[in-house]
């Protein structure tokens, strides 16, 4: 197994390991460290076992609250990880999802002098060469970037989104540590076959580096602007490419009101009912028509302009829906509408090919009960949030790995539902979604879709048939030449071996101590050798070593908590 210390031996990583593990222990997650045997690699000192008043107070809080607090204390990388986990309702309990949604970037703004140097390094010149004016006080500050209002030399007002200096190095160190911890979780944890911690960290690495690259966010903005070019109810900010780099995004400054500020919107005579409808339809257009949706549509990323148009901001995180995903979504919805629990169960099981630990009959029963609970209700009486969370709870209970983009979509829909109901108490997401669902279902049964699906099946069979002779020939060749091998992997034995090794070491230590005591006693009995305090000096020396080693062994056993 890959050792933590074999990967990160530099001082910064070791210091960060100590900080991370200390925070986790301080928030009451020491049992996880013990389970993963991290203390075998890193000695954290007395801070690990100290039970001060703060720790006792934290231990009285629910686990999910302590986890959220720990992630906030650990900084930007772990806050972003918590935000990613909050989209994985297929593996994280609902109570944790709700708490992780409250994650906040509790950071102060970077001093303007450092931000100015960052801007000048990115643009290759003084700020006065590119801007008439830049506000030194940020309009927004988060853990990865902060925003300053500026006026271009051409007169346009812009928002400068500037990456915090040095954040890349911090994130790189944290990601290396997370990968090593993920390896330990997969090796020693009891997560079953539901997910791979290493796979989640790899996905997280891709996500966070995409968010760090503001050129990618600028491309997302441009694509959204093109997608909504004919929609007069939605506005997407303009990107100023001449002033945009990987660490600096310069875009149109938006003067608007947060969509959650309903009192202010009413004061501006904005039609909140229409705004809720426009927002839901814009989001459905992203899914059905564009295949690309805003993956983090919280109220802080949705502004309302003075004329009532909706503006989408912060497009660093987007979800993609390809045709296959759309058809999976159509099958899922059609199965629910037609009360076909068998088809729905088959769809869910197909996301984990080869899985033998899923009880299909129990899954069908749970899905049938779920469908029956909602089937006879009018759309107005269906709580979309409860509907989605109950469905995701079934997925998680049966250890089904659902496509991550559809899970991300489900979370975004829940957020849209909350925003819509805040604007209009009568808002019902299912009413808004129904037309788009009907379009999906019509496409699914269209002759064009069936023809395309049939052609794809023929193509797949052709590829399999073409590759089969070559694969069989290679297999027979390996068997003939005794090159056919089967690799068996034992999982979970490393901890047992390490525990046995520790136990045998302690037993050996005990034998050494016992031998010293017996040998020293024999020397004292014979009275041989030089005397000290009237006793043989050699015997007293042996007793002293035995006492020291015995005390050392006792402290080690008590400190391990396995007395």
Tokens of 524: 């004292």
Q: Whole-number mean pLDDT of the chain? A: 78
Listed residues 223, 253, 283: the one ending a domain? 253
Task: Give the number of other CB atoms < 10 A from CB of residue 229.
Answer: 10
- pLDDT at position 519, please? 77
Tokens of 13: 């990583």
278 has catalytic annotation: no
Across residues 453-466, what is the average pLDDT?
78
Residue 536 lies in a domain: yes
Indicate the angle between helix axes 323-337 and 404-423, nearest 10 degrees.
60
- Same domain, yes or no, for 230 and 302? no
Q: Can you name the residues that pair with 237 across neighbouring β-strands?
A: none
- Same domain, yes or no, for 425 and 287? yes
Residue 305 lies in a domain: yes
Selected residue with higher pLDDT from 78 and 235: 235
Residue with tokens 């045709």: 323
- pLDDT at position 100, please? 79
CA 217, CA 516: separation in Å to the nearest integer? 70
Residue 455 lies in a domain: no
Total count of residues recorded for the chain: 563
- pLDDT score of 531 more than 90: no
Rg (CA), the chain: 31
CB within 8 Å of 264: residues ≥ 6 apart: 257
Residue 2 confidence class, pLDDT cut points 50, 70, 90: very low
- Same domain, yes or no, for 378 and 507? no
- pLDDT at position 17, please? 65
- Same domain, yes or no, for 137 and 277? no
Residue with tokens 């829909």: 413
- pLDDT score of 379 more than 70: no
- Same domain, yes or no, for 239 and 264? no
Listed residues 207, 225, 253: the one ending a domain? 253
Listed residues 445, 466, 487: the one ending a domain? 445
- Same domain, yes or no, for 389 and 290? yes
For every residue of 199-243, DSSP letters joined together read: HHHHHHHHHHHHHH-HHHHHHHHHHHHHHTTT-TTEE-PPB-GGG
Structural domain for 217, as ranges: 107-253
**With contact defined as beta carbons under 8 Å apart, do 302 and 313 qualify?**
yes
- pLDDT at position 527, please? 72
Residue 15 lies in a domain: no
- Same domain, yes or no, for 246 and 265? no
Tokens of 500: 């046995």
- pLDDT at position 208, please? 86
Residue 92 lies in a domain: no
Q: Which of 90, 174, 278, 296 is catalytic?
A: 296
- Same domain, yes or no, for 246 and 322? no
Closest to 69 (Cα-Cα) out of 19, 28, 35: 28
- Same domain, yes or no, for 300 and 236? no
End-to-end CA distance of the chain: 28
CA 555, CA 553: separation in Å to the nearest integer? 6
- pLDDT at position 3, please? 46
Q: What percent of the chain has pLDDT over 90?
A: 24
- As to burial, measured by CB atoms within 10 angstroms (0-12 exposed, 13-18 middle, 19+ buried), residue 409 is buried
Selected residue with higher pLDDT from 49 and 61: 61
- pLDDT at position 44, please? 44
For the entire predicted model, the pTM comes to 0.68
- pLDDT score of 41 more than 50: no
| Burial 85-119, CB ≥16 within 10 A → b, else e | bbbbbbbbeeebbebbbebebebeebeeeebbebb
Phi, psi (rounded to 5 degrees) for 297: -85, 50
Count up the domains in the chain and report the number.
Answer: 3
CA 121, CA 208: separation in Å to the nearest integer? 22
166-183 per-position pLDDT tens digit: 888 888 888 888 888 788
CA 505, CA 523: separation in Å to the nearest integer? 27
Residue 281 lies in a domain: yes
Indicate the angle between helix axes 63-74 and 76-85, nearest 10 degrees.
140
CA 344, CA 364: separation in Å to the nearest integer? 8
Residue 82 lies in a domain: no
- Same domain, yes or no, for 280 and 366? yes
Task: Give the number of other CB atoms < 10 A from CB of residue 420.
Answer: 26
304-353 per-position pLDDT tens digit: 999 999 999 988 888 888 887 887 777 777 777 777 888 888 888 776 65
DSSP 109: P
- pLDDT score of 451 more than 60: yes
Out of 117-131, 198-212, 236-250, pick the least confident.
198-212
Residue 7 lies in a domain: no
DSSP 559: H
């Amino acid at each position: 197994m890959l050792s933590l210390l074999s990967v990160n031996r530099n001082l910064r990583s070791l210091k960060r390991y100590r900080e991370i593990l200390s925070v986790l222990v301080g928030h009451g997650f020491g049992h996880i460290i013990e389970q993963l045997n991290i203390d075998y690699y890193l000695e954290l000192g007395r801070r690990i076992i100290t039970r001060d008043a703060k720790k006792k107070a934290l231990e009285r809080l629910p686990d999910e609250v302590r986890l959220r607090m720990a992630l906030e204390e650990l900084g930007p990388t772990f806050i972003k990880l918590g935000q990613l986990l909050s989209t994985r309702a297929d593996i994280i309990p609902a109570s944790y999802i709700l708490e992780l949604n409250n994650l906040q970037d509790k950071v102060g703004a970077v001093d303007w002098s450092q931000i100015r140097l960052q801007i000048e390094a990115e643009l290759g010149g003084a700020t006065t060469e590119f801007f008439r004016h830049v506000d030194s006080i940020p309009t927004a500050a988060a853990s990865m970037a902060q925003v300053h209002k500026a006026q271009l030399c051409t007169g346009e007002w812009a928002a400068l989104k500037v990456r915090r200096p040095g954040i890349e190095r911090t994130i790189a160190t944290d990601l290396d540590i997370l990968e090593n911890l993920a390896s330990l979780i997969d090796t020693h944890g009891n997560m079953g076959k539901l997910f791979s911690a290493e796979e989640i960290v790899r996905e997280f690495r891709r996500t966070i580096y995409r968010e760090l690259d503001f050129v990618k966010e600028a491309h997302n903005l441009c694509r959204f602007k093109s997608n909504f070019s004919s929609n007069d109810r939605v506005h997407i900010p303009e990107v100023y490419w001449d002033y945009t780099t990987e660490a600096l995004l310069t875009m149109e400054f938006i003067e608007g009101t947060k969509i959650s500020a309903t009192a202010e919107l009413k004061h501006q005579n904005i039609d909140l009912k229409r705004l809720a409808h426009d927002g839901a339809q814009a989001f459905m257009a992203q899914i059905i028509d564009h295949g690309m949706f805003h993956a983090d549509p919280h109220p802080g990323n949705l502004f309302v302009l003075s004329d009532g148009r909706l503006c989408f901001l912060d497009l660093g995180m987007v979800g993609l829906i390809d045709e296959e995903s759309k058809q999976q979504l159509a099958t899922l919805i059609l199965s629910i509408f037609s009360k076909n629990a068998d088809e729905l169960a088959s769809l869910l099981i197909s996301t984990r090919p080869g899985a033998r630990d899923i009880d299909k009959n129990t899954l069908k029963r749970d899905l049938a009960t779920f469908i029956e609970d909602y089937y006879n209700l009018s759309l107005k009486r269906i709580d979309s949030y409860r509907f989605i969370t109950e469905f995701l709870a079934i997925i998680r209970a049966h250890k089904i790995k659902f496509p991550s983009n559809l899970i991300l979509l489900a979370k975004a829909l829940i957020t849209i539902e909350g925003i819509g109901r805040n604007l209009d108490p009568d808002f019902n997401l299912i009413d808004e979604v129904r037309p788009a669902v009907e379009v999906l279902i019509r496409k699914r049964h269209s002759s064009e879709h069936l023809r395309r699906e049939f052609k794809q099946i023929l193509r797949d069979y052709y590829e399999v048939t073409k590759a089969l002779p070559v694969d069989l020939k290679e297999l027979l060749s390996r068997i003939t030449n005794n090159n056919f091998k089967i690799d068996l992997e034992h999982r979970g034995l490393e901890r047992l071996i390490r525990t046995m090794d520790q136990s045998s070491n302690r037993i050996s230590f005990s034998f050494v101590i016992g031998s010293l005591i017996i040998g020293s006693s024999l020397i004292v009995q014979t009275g041989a050798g030089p005397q000290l305090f009237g006793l043989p000096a050699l015997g007293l020396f042996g007793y002293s070593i035995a006492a020291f080693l015995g005390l050392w062994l006792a402290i080690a056993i008590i400190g391990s908590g396995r007395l």
